[in-house]
Amino acid sequence: MEAAFAEMPLALFSTLAPMGAGAFVILAAAFLTAKLDAEALGRIDRLTAIPVAFVIVGFIAAFFHLASPANAFGVFAGLGSSPLSNEIAAGVVFCVVMVVYWAWALTGKMPEGVRKGLAVVLAVLALVFALFTGMAYMIDTIASWNTLAGPVQILGYALVGGAALGVLVLALAGCADELKAGSLKTAVLAVLVVGLVCGIGGLAAQAMAANGLENALYSGADMVSSALMVIVAGVVCLVASGVCDVFAVRGGGASAVVGMGVGAAVLAVAGILLMRLAFYAMQVSVGLSMLL
């Protein structure tokens, strides 16, 4: 398990960026279902800085993982063949649309239709980005990673983490009542449930796959057992984050809702980060590769 901590920058990236991206799913849902006045929209737009920051900090973390960040502009050379190029491309497309959307929204002059349309596009791009991030680890020489459980996990983290961030943004923007309203609440809960199922189910599936693998250096079962406590802690945090979200959408005093939102976000970061570290710890190559 210790070796996985060396992958902290990548764990941070794959925690923060999908979370930030996933928040736009909730925002899109809010724009589509809730009646928000201009002031509320303005507050939401300013607070959108939070998911934007998550995405950017995530990318910065990934950047620091590189030994020669200066050459980073070359990463698109492998587009189509290198899963990493594909991931970065998906991330960059998402970021570009995100920045365009956010800058436009901050002007306060974004037509409602455009907002809704762009938010939906962003939500879809976020999920695509999450899937590509997960697919980046599907390498046929790393048997324990070469499974759809990888992208499913990241998709789940984007949804659960995105729900937490989205709820936090809306709560801070004073939209507790809107959150409580039927259709947004349903949407948030739906996102949450799908996310938890994908995230936890994906990691569990991956752990089970790794458990049966073995190579000349170590057995997957040993790696899974050494990561087990981290997995359990991560799952507990993730579920707790969901519970906070549930409390948040059930309503209450504004500060209580904000508190729940903050709790959900913090627990989501902790839970996803732990689960990501566990993922790195369960790398079972078909041959002689290991972390470090």
Partner 1 sequence: MTHYAFHFDGTRCTGCKTCEMACKDYKDLGLGVAYRKVYEVTLGETKKADDGTFASTCVSYPLSLACNHCENPACVKVCPTGAMHQDADTGLVSVDADKCIGCGYCHMACPYNAPKVDREKGHSVKCDGCKERVAAGEKPVCVEACPARALDFGPVDAMSKLGEQADIAPLPAKSYTSPNLYVKPSKDAKPAGDASAKVVNPLEVM
Looking at the Cβ atoms of 144 and 241, the one nearer to partner 1 is 144
**212 contributes a contact to partner 1 by CB under 8 A:** no
- Rounded Cα distance between 35 and 22, Å, is 21
Selected binder of partner 1 within 68, 109, 182, 253 (CB under 8 A):
68
Selected binder of partner 1 within 37, 111, 113, 140 (CB under 8 A):
140
Taking the complex as a whole, how short is the minimal distance between the CB of residue 125 and partner 1, in angstroms?
A: 20
Selected binder of partner 1 within 1, 50, 78, 120 (CB under 8 A):
78
**2 contributes a contact to partner 1 by CB under 8 A:** no
> What token pair was written down for 137?
């680890």
Selected binder of partner 1 within 96, 217, 229, 232 (CB under 8 A):
217
What dihedral angle (degrees, nearest 10) is formed by the CA atoms of 163, 171, 58, 138? Answer: 0
**290 contributes a contact to partner 1 by CB under 8 A:** yes
Taking the complex as a whole, how short is the minimal distance between the CB of residue 290 and partner 1, in angstroms?
A: 6
Q: How many residues belong to the site for partner 1 (CB under 8 A)?
A: 35
Looking at the Cβ atoms of 215 and 226, the one nearer to partner 1 is 215
Taking the complex as a whole, how short is the minimal distance between the CB of residue 285 and partner 1, in angstroms?
A: 6
Scanning 79-87, 177-185, 187-195, 243-251 for contacts with partner 1 by CB under 8 A, the matching segment is 79-87
Scanning 31-39, 65-73, 202-210, 254-262 for contacts with partner 1 by CB under 8 A, the matching segment is 65-73
- Rounded Cα distance between 101 and 87, Å, is 21
Selected binder of partner 1 within 32, 40, 84, 205 (CB under 8 A):
84
Selected binder of partner 1 within 71, 107, 111, 113 (CB under 8 A):
71
- Rounded Cα distance between 7 and 242, Å, is 26
Selected binder of partner 1 within 74, 103, 112, 229 (CB under 8 A):
74
Q: Which residues bind to partner 1, rule: CB under 8 A?
A: 65-69, 71-72, 74-78, 81-85, 88, 139-142, 214-217, 283, 285-292
